[in-house]
Amino acid sequence: MAKQGLTLEQKQKQRLALEQQRMLGLVLEKNDAEMAEFIDNKVNEIQALEKKSDDDNEYDNDNDERRNNDHAGEDTTPSGEVNSDGDDDTAAWYRYFANNRSRDDEYYAPTAVSEKTLQEYLADQLGELELDETQQIIAQAIVGNLEDDGYLRRSVNEIADDVTFNDGYMVDAKQVEEMLETIQTLDPPGIAARDLRECILLQLRRKPRSEDVDLAITMVEKYFDDFAAMRFDTLGRKMGVPGEKLEEVFKHHIRRGLNPYPGSAFGSRSDSSQQVTPDFDVELEEETGRLTVTLRNNIPALQISESYVLMNDRYKSSAPLSVKENKEKKQIQDAYQRASMFIEVLKQRQETLFNTMSAIVKCQRDYFLHGDERDLKPLGQQQIADMIGKDVSVVSRAVSNKYVQLPWGIKSLKSFFSEDINGSSRHEVYDDLKKLVDGEDKKHPLSDDALCDRLKEMGYKLERRTVAKYRDALKIPSSTIRRKMSR
């Protein structure tokens, strides 16, 4: 009889373990907003499960001890700080704020966040300026003509004509140019540039003045063709500075410190209606280079109800039970175990999500410090899985439909992953492809075959169709259209 009871108990534990794994996979796939409804449904479904209320601190210490001993009423996530493995002298720290709060904390329901478009972000800043009616109309026209990457590719004459004929305000190119200069002082730096050269100069001129910054400005302002082709020895001869020095200036003050696509961190106008709730916040402390990772605190604290704690204790004794009592005992223990299992699953979910985000920040540290997508390294989900000691399928669920709030916008966790292309990330290939097109002879633009050959010379083993796909992703027209546009 004892053997039969032991076998039944083992089968029950195996069933619960399988159910726990299945449940963990399910909750990992859900984002913060989806979890609120899911938890409400589980509280209604599992009778032994309840949310902690404000007056739970009136429970006696014995009940609290029983909950803690059974792992039923504990916080669903730990808290602590982990030092990064960054390879520079500036320590980055990752802080986790425990998801479940103490009993007297106030609970805040999740609030949906709308990902602002670049146009909305600029409109907020323009609203703080003292502009007259005509200036406001010109500003709206300029902002409305910005492309998703943050560039203005229509001329001031064309915009002046638009305002004059469409809006009924008589303005000239000089007025548009003056307002454009005002908009170019707004954030993000480099916004409303008309080409890459102007974009880089706008950002460099915001940097604190130094000898290196002055060298960078001179390179871009006076010798852009040599700069774009990265001919540092030629630049050195023209500027009377060692080429190695100029290459170092480029690496530290341009490549790492600037963003050639200042609008890229914002949602496109076609996606502006999408409502997302960021699951994480990553903040940078400029003075120390400290990065803080926060898993948002939107899941309510759960516990096993006091009545089920008491009834479960009652049936722990070895006293003989009637058939009715045995049936009741099974129902109570089943509800108790399901509630306990669900609380444990939430704890594992929060730990997994936080560990996943922390690992991403460690791997993509340069990006989180500078916001430059060229700093994104090749990263696969298997690498993160190895770091946190989980299966890659767990990481796939953990990053699915999850977002992080950054100082420069909201990013999808999936955007931090990209395939390795000969030791480089797709973002680096995009950057070099864009440079090739920006530096081409506009009257004789490079075909996709020619771009493919140039990229191969730079070490990228890509097929022509892949180059064409990347060109389309960057919204660069074909060579035929570019040739017509240059006439």
CA distances from residue 284 to 33, 221, 291, 293, 403 in whole angstroms, order as listed: 25, 31, 5, 9, 17
If phi over 0 gives left and psi between -120 and 50 gives alpha, with beta otherwise, what is residue 210?
beta
129 and 201 fall within a common domain: yes
CA distance 200 to 220: 8
Residue given tokens 């035929």 in the structure block? 480
Which residue is it, tokens 């966040």? 113
Assess whether 177 and 250 both reside in one domain.
yes
For residue 172, being part of any structural domain is answered with yes
Let me know whether 89 and 27 are in one domain. Answer: yes
Residue 265 inside a domain? The answer is: no
230 shares a domain with 136 = yes
Contacts of 134 (CB under 8 A, 6+ apart): 169, 171, 175
How far is C-alpha 360 from the geometric centre of its chain's CA atoms?
10
Rounded to 5 degrees, what angle do the CA atoms 274, 275, 276 make?
115
User: pLDDT (tens digit, 9 = 90+) per residue, 78-93?
Assistant: 333 434 444 333 233 3
Domain holding 333, by residue range, is: 1-114+276-418
105 and 158 together in one domain: no
Statement: residue 17 has pLDDT above 50: yes
- How many other CB atoms are found less than 10 A from the CB of residue 460? 20
Q: Of 180, 149, 184, 187, which Cα lies nearest the Cα of 163?
A: 180
Spatial distance between the Cα atoms of 406 and 293, rounded to a whole number of angstroms? 10
Interval 427-436 mean pLDDT: 80
pLDDT bucket at 63, cuts 50 / 70 / 90: very low
Length of the chain: 487
Highest mean pLDDT among 322-331, 349-358, 457-466: 349-358
- Residue 152: per-residue pLDDT: 93
Q: Which of 69-73, 128-132, 245-249 has the lowest mean pLDDT?
A: 69-73
Query: If DSSP codes are grouped into helix, strand and coil, which group holds residue 161?
Result: helix
CA distance 481 to 473: 16
Nearest to 211 by CA among 248, 238, 237: 248
Q: Is the pLDDT of residue 340 over 60?
A: yes
Q: Where are the alpha helices (DSSP H) in 375-478?
A: 381-388, 392-399, 426-438, 448-457, 464-473
Peptide bond into 188 cis (omega under 30): yes
- Can you point out the beta strands (E) in 338-431? 403-406, 409-412
Look at residue 60 in the predicted model and tell me its pLDDT: 42
pLDDT digits (tens, 9 = 90+) for 187-203: 889 999 999 999 999 99
pLDDT > 90 in the chain, percent: 16
- Of 418, 439, 466, which marks where a domain is finished? 418
| 261 falls within a domain | no
Cβ atoms of 179 and 139 within 8 Å: the answer is yes
Domain termination site, one of 377, 392, 418: 418
CA distances from 34 to 41, 111, 393 (A): 11, 12, 20
Sorted by sequence, the CB contacts under 8 Å of residue 341 that are 6+ apart come out as 16, 19, 20, 23
pLDDT-based confidence at 293, cuts 50/70/90? confident
* pLDDT for 207 beyond 80: yes
Q: Are residues 84 and 206 in the same domain?
A: no
Mean of the pLDDT values across residues 98-116? 36
Distance of alpha carbon 154 from alpha carbon 165, whole angstroms: 16
What confidence score (pLDDT) does residue 85 get? 43
Residue 364 is predicted with a pLDDT of 87
**What is the number of structural domains in the chain?**
3
Q: Cα–Cα distance between 307 and 90 in angstroms, integer?
A: 52
Instruction: Please check whether residue 266 lies inside any domain of the structure.
Output: no
In a domain, 263, yes or no: no
Q: What pLDDT, on the 0 to 100 scale, is given for residue 238?
A: 94
